[in-house]
Structure 1
Amino acid sequence: MHNIISRGSGAIALAAGLVLAAGGSAAAHVTVDAPGAAQGKYTVATFKVPTESDTAATTALRVTVPNVKSVRTEPMPGWTSKVERNDKGEAVAVAWTADPGNPGVGPDQFQRFVLSLGPLPAQDTVDFPARQTYSDGRVVSWDQPSTDGAEPEYPAPTLTLSDTGGSDGGEHHVASTDTTEPESDKVSRWLGGAGLALGLFAAALGLGLVSRSRKP
């Protein structure tokens, strides 16, 4: 009887562990999403920043942008943003810092940082190296490029740009109307469903084993 219950509990623990491990790997990185982003055009880019630390909060973020003409930040209560420019007046980076009294993005939380920027460069992909600062002084640099399709430990947020065949001649204030769910959110929802299914299967297995052990 004890062995049967132990096997059932083990199945439940294994299923839960697999789901948690998969969920952690999917949500660990700083990512960027910009539906419809195209070469030579303006876009709205959303950076999703999770806090990985169990004890410290995210209190600052700096994102490098590809020397673009225009960058505008979305107002965020409790945060101060600053656009950094080179001697040509091009935007090269954006930094957000939590205001005094704002604890930042705590453990098990994430925050979205939104930019309107452009025109985007005439290339297939563009990286946005990011630097995430924690309240305990730890700094994580998300700046490693993918090599031969393999994802590095700290990948730089990357956008794939469509080829429009030309440059946008003027600045536009982009309002994102795309309702497509970001890929990272789809993965999270899929993992949640898989976790529920595995949990139910493991629970049924445990109950079945216990029930069978009670039969004469």
Structure 2
Amino acid sequence: MRSLPARRLSAGAVLLAAGTVLATAVPAFAHVTVQPGTATQGGYTAVAFRVPDESDTASTVKLEVSLPTDHPIASVSTQPLPGWTVQVDKSQLPNPIKTDDGSITTAVSKITWTADATGKIGPGQFQEFKVSFGPLPGDTDQLVFKALQTKDDGTVVRWIDEAKEGQPEPAHPAPVLKLTKAAATASPGPAGQVTASQDGAAAGTASAKSDDSTARTLGVVGIVVGVIGAGLGVLGLRRKGSAS
């Protein structure tokens, strides 16, 4: 049986471990993130920059999000948010974006949301800032959006650190949108190879031919049976006549 001091020591160790886990988990909840965190290359999407206020006393009054200029996005629009004004800044692109409507030489490089007296994000609260953009680039697997979060006490939290593979997550990671490749569409197979759609069509044709052949066979059998029946009827009448 364990002694009382040993039990207390064991319970203390458990509480210490739990406290350590919570201490390391809390900062992750306070990160500025992109929701949802994935989108398709070359497509259009709508995302929300989710901004929590981790301070005990100060409220968030401004959010600045920088869009990557090395992988620019041609079309960007913001959703109105009560209690906040938005400013969209554009910059000249070093390499124009080619679209169906021609070349685009400027693109949105920064979006700034500023709160009025009613729009602050208070301690322990969060807000989502929604943006629609596209087409997303097809030459990268992620977009990094560096963000600055300003509090009403003058504090600025810089969410600009980029995570590196094999290293611990930085204290203030930049929001990241992962990009996945678009699903491959069906294409004609090599000569002599039947694709799924072709195979389905062939099966349907074969089924139709089979049904037609069956119908014809049954028709012929019916005719033959009818002829035989008629012949037997005539023969019966002749025999009956002879007997009388």
TM-score class, shorter? 0.5 to 0.7
- Alignment partner, residue 242 of structure 2: none
Is residue 2:202 matched to residue 1:162?
no
CA distance in 2 between partners of 1:138 and 1:93 (Å): 20
**Letter paired with 2:64:** R
TM-score, with length taken from structure 1: 0.66
CA distance in 1 between partners of 2:7 and 2:166 (Å): 44
- Alignment partner, residue 109 of structure 1: 125
CA displacement at 1:44 relative to structure 2: 0.8
Is residue 2:110 matched to residue 1:93?
yes
5+ residue gaps, structure 2: 93-104, 185-244
Max Rg structure? 2
CA RMSD of aligned residues (A): 2.7
Q: Percent identity?
A: 45
CA displacement at 1:28 relative to structure 2: 2.1
- Secondary structure in structure 2 of the residue aligned to 1:90: strand
CA distance in 1 between partners of 2:8 and 2:37 (Å): 48
Is residue 2:74 matched to residue 1:69?
yes
Is residue 2:147 matched to residue 1:145?
no
CA distance in 1 between partners of 2:41 and 2:22 (Å): 38
CA displacement at 1:89 relative to structure 2: 3.4
> Which of structures 1 and 2 has the larger relative contact order (alpha carbons within 8 angstroms, sep 6+)?
1
CA distance in 1 between partners of 2:115 and 2:45 (Å): 25
- Secondary structure in structure 1 of the residue aligned to 2:27: helix
Is the 8 Å Cα contact of residues 82 and 94 (structure 1) preserved in structure 2?
A: yes
CA distance in 2 between partners of 1:36 and 1:156 (Å): 15
Aligned residues: 165
- Secondary structure in structure 2 of the residue aligned to 1:86: strand
**Letter paired with 1:125:** Q
CA deviation string 1:29-50 (max 9, x = no partner): 1111236511111111111111
- Alignment CA distance shift 1:3-1:165 (3 Å): closer
CA distance in 1 between partners of 2:61 and 2:143 (Å): 25
- Alignment partner, residue 31 of structure 2: 29
**Letter paired with 2:135:** P
